Structure 1
Amino acid sequence: MPDSAPLELSALSDGAATTVHIAGEIDLATADEVQSFLREQLDGTTEAITLRLAEVTFIGSEGLRILIWLRAECARRQVGLVVGDCSPIVVRTFGLCGLTEVFLGEQDTA
């Protein structure tokens, strides 16, 4: 069985807005690390968080749970959330789970 892609988390912030890049797999094994990282980024953000998921190679139910949590937490704190630059696997998973409009809105996902 091949090794899973290592998880890579990075962020750029100016205090008001933060862009978060996630690469690798978001699953049960990485969920705590991803959620903790996103919580830290959200704590330091006042206006908006942008997620860049172009290098995500797998997203499981725990990954979706984290994104749903992040969306709710951003709404509670009145911080914008933009999900963009999604890998095909993320777009497909959103579609299969009925979450395309929730996370990508009217964006062209073709």
Structure 2
Amino acid sequence: MTVQDPDVVATSGAESAAAGGPRVGQIGITVRKAGEGATVVAASGEIDMLTAPQLRAEVLPHLDAGDTVVLDLSGVSFLGSAGLAVLVEASQHGKRRGSAFRVVAVERAVIRPLAATGLGDVFSVFESVDRALEADEPR
């Protein structure tokens, strides 16, 4: 017999917005175009082994399209090893596709695992979405 946790449900889309955002053990994801060839994927809640596949499914297709992808993790309250693996995969995927991949990290729950694993040096990490989007613009 299989028992499903009633608190584990999909949290993207209209249902999530109506509920007021993700609850513990859930992830909220919004995707928006930020100009020509740039996409911002904003995640909130917890990124763990249950929610990381959903994040992956939202990020990789935009890298396939050749977009600059800014992954905004400023609303993330937990970033586990499965989430870190998605970041590494997205970074490598972007390099193979010629797409830029950038991460916005401001919360300790995200900055700390990036620093502890050394992954903050592997891909571009910014303190705001605006700074991440401006990174390619000539100065």
Residue pair 1:11, 1:20 contacting (<8 A) in 2 also: yes
**Identical aligned pairs, as a percentage?**
28
- After the TM superposition, which segments of 4 or more aligned residues of structure 1 sit over 4 Å from their partners? none
Q: CA deviation at 1:34?
A: 1.2
Greater mean deviation of Cα atoms: 35-44 or 16-25? 35-44
Structure whose CA Rg is larger: 2
Choose which of 114, 127, 130 in structure 2 pairs with 1:94.
114
1:11 and 1:41 in contact (8 A); partners too: no
SS of alignment partner, residue 26 of structure 2? coil
Q: Distance in 2 between matches of 1:5 and 1:90?
A: 16
Q: Distance in 2 between matches of 1:41 and 1:79?
A: 9
Q: Confirm or deny that 1:29 pairs with 2:50.
A: yes
Unaligned runs of 5+ in 2: 1-22, 128-139
Question: What's the RMSD between the two structures over aligned residues?
Answer: 2.0
By relative contact order (CA 8 Å, sep 6+), the higher-ranking structure is 1
The TM-score with structure 1 as length reference comes to 0.82
* 8 Å Cα contact 1:17-1:49 kept in structure 2: yes
Structure 1 residue 48 displacement after superposition = 0.7
How many residues align? The count is: 104
What is the aligned partner in structure 2 of residue 79 from structure 1?
99
Structure ranking higher in strand proportion: 1
Structure 1 residue 29, shift from structure 2 partner: 0.9
Gaps of 5+ in 1: none
Q: Is the 8 A contact 1:5 1:57 kept in 2?
A: no
